[in-house]
Amino acid sequence: MKTDSKQIIHIDQDAFFVSVEIKKNSSLAGKPIIIGGLSDRGVVASCSYEARKYGVYSAMPSRMAKQLCPHAIFIKGDMADYTNYSQQITELLKERVPVLEKASIDEHYIDMTGMDRFFGSMKFAHELRQSILHQIGLPVSFGLSINKTVSKIATNECKPNGELYVKSHEVQDFLNPLSIKKIPGLGDATYLKLSEMGVRKIFTLSQIPADLIVKVLGKNGFSLWQKANGVDLTPVVPYREQKSIGTQQTFDIDTMDVHHIKEIITGMVTNIAYELRQKQKLTACITVTIRYSNFETVTQQAKIPYTSLDTTLIAKAKELFDKVYNRRMLLRLVGVKLSHLVGGHEQIELYGTAERKYNLYQYMDKVRNKYGISAVQLATTIPPKKKY
Ligand SMILES: [Mg+2]
């Protein structure tokens, strides 16, 4: 059932945001550090291993983290810095590996299949890790195995500063004793359902008939069951082939009404930012396209720190529109695209009003999930009544 042919490396920075902060200020090393919203309503974006010892973890409310680890040092964090280091790491890897997927701000998959005969995947991965450690100066771990899931679990098991090779004949023995919580993508609700059935170890999950799991968990159950059996057929998607999220709108009547166009842009960005959050992704690049009535098409693009926040993206889109729309000519189309997508939901630019807004967005997303995207919009986003 398992294919011997694949050699997949999962390489993941150790406590990435914290490590960047320590690189900036070495006196923080060895201390319990929490990155994230400082206010009562904030959440932990990342925390050091010293803080994890107290039970602090990512996405936990900051208030709870403070109770668990009162002497922790809270740092507000700087997404621009983290994005910068993230891109340096990607560049370093891109130059050296055949097929690279950027999975999140601090996580990459490398498909070494075919290359392993020439290099020896373990030696190659070890050297990559050393390069990141010495050239970028940030701690990193990797797992090497037959597919993405097993490699990622291997990384998580050997962190921090670890390397782990799980050979194809060792996969099931490696997985069996682990908690099902270690399976990437297995959320709290699923864990609850499975543990109510007495399923807590990967071994137990792997032994249950697949159709029973599907009955209990639906479609998603089958892929979890496969993972428990060491099977994951999802390919490493090369960096350049990763999809973007975008939308465009052709006006009923060509227009020069900048105010109206900006309202349309606001609506479009609201929708695609929602889609971005639904897919649990962040973007680092935004593009605005306009088409004049003579069909001439021009675009403006900007690199931004990783985000999925409406407010940030709307402001940037409007700014790009102002730059790109520089001829006094009617427009027939406007489009917005978000690219350089990676997995993640860390929102560390959230303080004060932005944080309150984020809570508002989370609430709005919940309503949209239930009643559809147009059920709730910010007052400024509601499209104006047609004047024509
Ligand atoms: Mg990491």
- pLDDT tens digits, 283-305: 999 999 999 999 999 999 999 99
The pLDDT of residue 385 is above 50: no
Q: What is the mean pLDDT of residues 93-120?
A: 90
Neighbours of 196 (CB within 10 A): 9
Q: What is the mean pLDDT of residues 27-41?
A: 88
Tell me the pLDDT tens digit for each residue of 169-181. 999 999 999 999 9
Model confidence at 388, in pLDDT bands (50, 70, 90)? very low
Homologous superfamily, domain 243-381: DNA polymerase, Y-family, little finger domain (3.30.1490.100)
Instruction: Give the CATH fold of the 1-167 domain.
Output: Alpha-Beta Plaits (3.30.70)
Model confidence at 375, in pLDDT bands (50, 70, 90)? low
Query: Ligand 1 mean position to 314 CA, how many Å?
Result: 29
Query: Ligand 1 mean position to 159 CA, how many Å?
Result: 9
Tell me the pLDDT tens digit for each residue of 53-100. 999 998 888 899 999 999 999 998 999 999 999 999 999 999 999 899
Query: Ligand 1 mean position to 364 CA, how many Å?
Result: 29
The pLDDT of residue 45 is above 70: yes
The pLDDT of residue 9 is above 80: yes
Model confidence at 362, in pLDDT bands (50, 70, 90)? low
Ramachandran sector of residue 340 (left: φ over 0; alpha: ψ -120 to 50; beta: rest)? left
User: Which is more confidently placed, 352 or 289?
Assistant: 289
Binding-site residue numbers for Mg(2+) are 12, 106
With residues binned 3-state (H G I as helix, E B as strand, rest as coil), the percentages for the chain, rounded to 5, are 45, 20, 30
The pLDDT of residue 3 is above 90: no
Binding-site residue numbers are 12, 106
Secondary structure element (H or E) that encloses residue 222, with its range: helix 219-228
Nearest-angstrom CA–CA distance, 98 and 234: 17
User: Which pLDDT belongs to residue 184?
Assistant: 94
CATH class as words, domain 176-236? mainly alpha
User: Crossing angle for the helix pair 210-217 and 219-228, nearest 10 degrees?
Assistant: 140
Query: Ligand 1 mean position to 375 CA, how many Å?
Result: 36
User: Which is more confidently placed, 262 or 358?
Assistant: 262
Nearest-angstrom CA–CA distance, 105 and 234: 20
Tell me the pLDDT tens digit for each residue of 182-219. 999 898 999 999 999 999 999 999 999 999 999 999 98
Judged by average pLDDT, the poorest of 96-105, 236-245, 313-322, 327-336 is 236-245
Of 21, 9, 80, 22, whose CA–CA distance to 282 is shortest? 80
Nearest-angstrom CA–CA distance, 314 and 273: 9
Active site residues: 107
Nearest-angstrom CA–CA distance, 349 and 322: 24
Tell me the pLDDT tens digit for each residue of 124-182. 999 999 999 999 999 999 999 999 999 999 999 999 999 999 999 999 999 999 999 99
Give the torsion sign (CA, 225, 231, 237, 238): positive
pTM for the model: 0.85
Give, in order, the Cα–Cα distances in Å from 266 to each of 58, 81, 89, 189, 349: 31, 27, 33, 34, 20
* Domain residue extents for the chain: 1-167, 176-236, 243-381
Query: Ligand 1 mean position to 352 CA, how many Å?
Result: 27
**C-beta separation of 93 from 102 below 8 A:** no
DSSP 341-371: -EE-----S--THHHHHHHHHHHHHHHHHHH
Secondary structure element (H or E) that encloses residue 45, with its range: strand 44-47
**C-beta separation of 148 from 101 below 8 A:** no
User: Which pLDDT belongs to residue 30?
Assistant: 96
Determine the 3-state secondary structure of 100 from DSSP: strand
